[in-house]
Amino acid sequence: MSKTREYLEAFLIAVIFLKFANTFVLQTFYIPSGSMEETLLIGDHLFVNRFIYGPKLIDLEEKLLPSRPIRRGDVVIFRSKEDHVTDVVKRCVGLPGDTVEVRADQLLINGEVVDDSAVTKFKEPKEMQRLSRFQRRELAHRRAFHGPIKVPEEHYFCMGDNRWNSRDSRFWGTLPAHLVKGRASVIYWSYGGETPDGQYHGLGHRLRQLGSTALGFLTKTRWGRTFRLVR
Protein backbone atom coordinates (compact mmCIF):
# COMPACT_ATOMS: atom_id res chain seq x y z
CA MET A 1 0.00 0.00 0.00
CA SER A 2 1.43 3.39 -1.00
CA LYS A 3 2.03 6.14 1.55
CA THR A 4 -0.32 8.39 -0.38
CA ARG A 5 -3.13 5.91 0.08
CA GLU A 6 -2.30 5.49 3.77
CA TYR A 7 -2.43 9.25 4.31
CA LEU A 8 -5.68 9.47 2.38
CA GLU A 9 -7.29 6.73 4.46
CA ALA A 10 -6.10 8.34 7.70
CA PHE A 11 -7.50 11.69 6.55
CA LEU A 12 -10.87 10.16 5.65
CA ILE A 13 -11.08 8.38 8.99
CA ALA A 14 -10.32 11.64 10.80
CA VAL A 15 -12.98 13.49 8.80
CA ILE A 16 -15.57 10.78 9.54
CA PHE A 17 -14.69 10.83 13.26
CA LEU A 18 -14.90 14.63 13.45
CA LYS A 19 -18.22 14.61 11.60
CA PHE A 20 -19.58 11.98 13.99
CA ALA A 21 -18.34 13.91 17.03
CA ASN A 22 -19.77 17.19 15.75
CA THR A 23 -23.13 15.57 15.02
CA PHE A 24 -23.62 13.46 18.12
CA VAL A 25 -21.16 14.51 20.85
CA LEU A 26 -19.59 17.98 20.68
CA GLN A 27 -20.48 20.92 18.46
CA THR A 28 -19.07 24.44 18.21
CA PHE A 29 -21.19 27.58 18.35
CA TYR A 30 -20.46 31.31 18.45
CA ILE A 31 -22.46 34.15 20.02
CA PRO A 32 -23.65 36.70 17.42
CA SER A 33 -25.84 38.91 19.64
CA GLY A 34 -26.02 40.43 23.12
CA SER A 35 -29.10 38.52 24.31
CA MET A 36 -27.11 36.49 26.86
CA GLU A 37 -24.90 39.26 28.26
CA GLU A 38 -23.12 39.20 30.66
CA THR A 39 -23.02 35.40 30.81
CA LEU A 40 -22.06 35.14 27.13
CA LEU A 41 -20.62 38.00 25.09
CA ILE A 42 -20.72 38.67 21.38
CA GLY A 43 -17.74 36.80 19.94
CA ASP A 44 -17.68 33.99 22.51
CA HIS A 45 -17.08 30.62 20.82
CA LEU A 46 -18.51 27.62 22.67
CA PHE A 47 -18.33 23.89 22.86
CA VAL A 48 -21.85 22.45 22.93
CA ASN A 49 -22.44 19.10 24.62
CA ARG A 50 -24.85 17.33 22.26
CA PHE A 51 -24.76 14.07 24.17
CA ILE A 52 -26.00 15.20 27.58
CA TYR A 53 -29.71 15.34 26.63
CA GLY A 54 -29.57 12.31 24.35
CA PRO A 55 -32.06 9.43 24.71
CA LYS A 56 -31.08 6.49 26.92
CA LEU A 57 -31.98 3.11 25.47
CA ILE A 58 -31.30 0.84 28.44
CA ASP A 59 -30.80 1.21 32.20
CA LEU A 60 -27.06 0.43 31.88
CA GLU A 61 -26.57 3.43 29.59
CA GLU A 62 -28.29 5.68 32.12
CA LYS A 63 -25.87 4.50 34.83
CA LEU A 64 -22.67 4.66 32.78
CA LEU A 65 -23.10 7.60 30.41
CA PRO A 66 -23.08 11.28 31.48
CA SER A 67 -26.55 12.16 30.26
CA ARG A 68 -29.49 13.74 32.08
CA PRO A 69 -32.71 15.69 31.44
CA ILE A 70 -32.71 19.46 30.97
CA ARG A 71 -32.61 21.30 34.28
CA ARG A 72 -33.91 24.74 35.16
CA GLY A 73 -30.98 27.13 34.68
CA ASP A 74 -29.24 25.21 31.89
CA VAL A 75 -27.93 27.31 29.00
CA VAL A 76 -29.22 25.42 25.97
CA ILE A 77 -28.63 25.56 22.22
CA PHE A 78 -31.67 24.87 20.07
CA ARG A 79 -33.03 25.20 16.58
CA SER A 80 -35.10 28.36 16.20
CA LYS A 81 -38.81 27.78 16.62
CA GLU A 82 -39.48 30.63 14.21
CA ASP A 83 -37.40 29.59 11.18
CA HIS A 84 -36.20 26.05 12.06
CA VAL A 85 -32.79 26.93 10.54
CA THR A 86 -30.99 29.28 12.92
CA ASP A 87 -29.33 27.95 16.08
CA VAL A 88 -30.19 29.97 19.20
CA VAL A 89 -28.81 30.08 22.75
CA LYS A 90 -30.97 30.90 25.80
CA ARG A 91 -31.35 29.87 29.44
CA CYS A 92 -34.06 27.38 30.35
CA VAL A 93 -36.14 28.96 33.14
CA GLY A 94 -39.28 26.83 32.98
CA LEU A 95 -39.67 23.04 32.88
CA PRO A 96 -42.74 21.02 31.82
CA GLY A 97 -45.54 21.72 34.29
CA ASP A 98 -44.03 24.98 35.59
CA THR A 99 -46.04 28.21 35.67
CA VAL A 100 -43.93 31.18 34.54
CA GLU A 101 -44.62 34.85 35.35
CA VAL A 102 -42.69 38.13 35.23
CA ARG A 103 -43.72 40.82 37.70
CA ALA A 104 -41.90 44.14 38.12
CA ASP A 105 -38.92 42.76 36.17
CA GLN A 106 -38.79 39.76 38.50
CA LEU A 107 -39.11 36.14 37.34
CA LEU A 108 -41.56 33.92 39.24
CA ILE A 109 -41.79 30.15 38.86
CA ASN A 110 -44.86 28.46 40.31
CA GLY A 111 -45.67 31.65 42.21
CA GLU A 112 -42.26 31.93 43.89
CA VAL A 113 -39.69 34.62 43.16
CA VAL A 114 -36.52 33.34 41.47
CA ASP A 115 -33.33 35.06 42.60
CA ASP A 116 -31.36 34.94 39.35
CA SER A 117 -29.87 38.42 39.63
CA ALA A 118 -26.35 36.95 39.58
CA VAL A 119 -26.69 35.92 35.93
CA THR A 120 -29.53 38.05 34.51
CA LYS A 121 -30.33 41.69 34.08
CA PHE A 122 -33.31 43.84 33.15
CA LYS A 123 -31.63 46.92 31.72
CA GLU A 124 -33.10 49.15 29.06
CA PRO A 125 -30.77 49.88 26.11
CA LYS A 126 -28.96 53.20 26.12
CA GLU A 127 -29.92 55.93 23.67
CA MET A 128 -33.57 54.85 23.42
CA GLN A 129 -34.26 57.65 20.94
CA ARG A 130 -32.07 55.93 18.32
CA LEU A 131 -34.09 52.73 18.29
CA SER A 132 -36.19 51.90 15.26
CA ARG A 133 -39.97 51.58 15.44
CA PHE A 134 -39.61 47.78 15.28
CA GLN A 135 -37.09 47.78 18.15
CA ARG A 136 -39.36 50.00 20.25
CA ARG A 137 -42.30 47.66 19.60
CA GLU A 138 -40.22 44.67 20.72
CA LEU A 139 -39.19 46.51 23.89
CA ALA A 140 -42.83 47.29 24.61
CA HIS A 141 -43.65 43.60 24.17
CA ARG A 142 -40.97 42.61 26.67
CA ARG A 143 -42.35 45.10 29.18
CA ALA A 144 -45.93 43.93 28.55
CA PHE A 145 -45.32 40.23 29.14
CA HIS A 146 -46.50 39.10 32.56
CA GLY A 147 -48.00 35.65 32.18
CA PRO A 148 -48.79 33.41 33.86
CA ILE A 149 -48.14 30.72 31.29
CA LYS A 150 -48.01 27.01 32.08
CA VAL A 151 -45.30 25.06 30.27
CA PRO A 152 -46.76 22.02 28.45
CA GLU A 153 -45.24 18.54 28.54
CA GLU A 154 -42.21 18.10 26.27
CA HIS A 155 -41.72 21.89 26.20
CA TYR A 156 -39.51 24.46 27.95
CA PHE A 157 -39.68 28.18 28.66
CA CYS A 158 -36.42 29.90 27.70
CA MET A 159 -35.21 33.48 28.22
CA GLY A 160 -32.03 35.42 27.50
CA ASP A 161 -29.98 36.62 30.45
CA ASN A 162 -30.09 40.13 28.98
CA ARG A 163 -33.84 40.34 29.44
CA TRP A 164 -34.23 43.70 27.67
CA ASN A 165 -32.43 42.48 24.57
CA SER A 166 -33.66 38.96 23.98
CA ARG A 167 -36.24 37.53 21.61
CA ASP A 168 -37.28 34.45 23.54
CA SER A 169 -40.27 32.47 24.89
CA ARG A 170 -42.02 35.74 25.70
CA PHE A 171 -42.36 36.19 21.93
CA TRP A 172 -42.56 32.75 20.32
CA GLY A 173 -43.93 30.69 23.19
CA THR A 174 -42.60 27.54 24.77
CA LEU A 175 -39.81 25.54 23.14
CA PRO A 176 -40.58 21.99 21.91
CA ALA A 177 -38.09 19.47 23.30
CA HIS A 178 -37.24 18.05 19.88
CA LEU A 179 -35.63 21.36 18.84
CA VAL A 180 -33.03 21.24 21.64
CA LYS A 181 -29.55 20.38 20.33
CA GLY A 182 -27.44 20.45 23.49
CA ARG A 183 -26.06 22.36 26.46
CA ALA A 184 -23.47 25.13 26.26
CA SER A 185 -20.50 23.84 28.25
CA VAL A 186 -17.21 25.75 27.73
CA ILE A 187 -16.04 28.98 26.10
CA TYR A 188 -12.97 27.85 24.15
CA TRP A 189 -12.27 31.25 22.53
CA SER A 190 -13.63 34.74 23.02
CA TYR A 191 -12.93 37.31 20.31
CA GLY A 192 -13.70 40.99 20.73
CA GLY A 193 -13.48 41.95 17.06
CA GLU A 194 -15.96 41.59 14.20
CA THR A 195 -17.80 38.26 14.15
CA PRO A 196 -19.85 36.62 11.37
CA ASP A 197 -23.52 37.59 11.33
CA GLY A 198 -24.65 34.36 9.70
CA GLN A 199 -25.24 36.02 6.33
CA TYR A 200 -23.12 35.56 3.19
CA HIS A 201 -21.77 38.89 1.93
CA GLY A 202 -19.48 37.56 -0.78
CA LEU A 203 -16.05 35.96 -0.89
CA GLY A 204 -14.22 39.29 -0.66
CA HIS A 205 -15.98 40.22 2.59
CA ARG A 206 -15.28 36.79 4.05
CA LEU A 207 -11.57 36.98 3.16
CA ARG A 208 -11.28 40.47 4.67
CA GLN A 209 -12.97 39.22 7.82
CA LEU A 210 -10.60 36.25 8.10
CA GLY A 211 -7.62 38.54 7.59
CA SER A 212 -8.86 40.96 10.25
CA THR A 213 -9.39 38.09 12.69
CA ALA A 214 -5.88 36.75 12.07
CA LEU A 215 -4.28 40.18 12.57
CA GLY A 216 -6.31 40.88 15.72
CA PHE A 217 -6.06 37.41 17.25
CA LEU A 218 -3.55 38.35 19.95
CA THR A 219 -4.85 41.83 20.73
CA LYS A 220 -8.62 41.25 20.48
CA THR A 221 -8.88 37.81 22.07
CA ARG A 222 -10.40 38.00 25.55
CA TRP A 223 -7.85 35.67 27.12
CA GLY A 224 -9.51 35.79 30.53
CA ARG A 225 -12.61 34.06 29.12
CA THR A 226 -10.68 31.18 27.52
CA PHE A 227 -11.92 27.77 28.73
CA ARG A 228 -14.45 29.37 31.06
CA LEU A 229 -17.34 27.10 32.02
CA VAL A 230 -20.80 28.29 31.01
CA ARG A 231 -23.09 28.47 34.04
Active site residue 2: no
Ordered alpha helix ranges (H), the chain = 3-24, 59-64, 133-144, 169-172, 203-215, 217-220
Whether residue 206 is contained in a domain is answered as yes
pLDDT tens digits, one per residue of 54-103? 766 556 656 656 778 999 999 999 999 998 889 999 999 999 999 999 98
Whether residue 4 is contained in a domain is answered as no
Which of 109-118, 153-162, 164-173, 199-208 has the least mean pLDDT? 199-208
Residues 6+ apart with CB under 8 A from 139: 124, 125, 131, 164
Contact criterion met (CB below 8 Å) for 97 and 153: yes
**Is it the case that residue 15 has pLDDT exceeding 70?**
no
Whether residue 94 is contained in a domain is answered as yes
Whether residue 16 is contained in a domain is answered as no
Return the closest-CA partner of residue 189 out of 31, 76, 75, 50: 31
Whether residue 8 is contained in a domain is answered as no
Mean pLDDT of 29-41: 90
Domain count, the chain: 1
Q: Phi and psi (nearest 5°) for 37?
A: -65, 140
Whether residue 19 is contained in a domain is answered as no
Whether residue 14 is contained in a domain is answered as no
CATH number at residue 103: 2.10.109.10
Active site residue 90: yes
- On the 0-12 / 13-18 / 19+ scale of CB atoms within 10 A, 46 is buried
Tell me the C-alpha distance between 226 and 228, whole Å. 5
- Exactly one of 33, 35, 166, 169 is catalytic; which is it? 35
Strand partners, 81: none
Tell me the C-alpha distance between 85 and 55, whole Å. 23
Provide the pLDDT confidence category of residue 18 given band limits of 50, 70 and 90.
Answer: very low
- Exactly one of 19, 56, 63, 90 is catalytic; which is it? 90
pLDDT tens digits, one per residue of 109-149? 999 999 888 787 766 665 555 667 776 676 666 667 788 99
Looking at residue 38, what is its pLDDT?
A: 86
Whether residue 121 is contained in a domain is answered as yes
Range of the domain at 206: 25-229
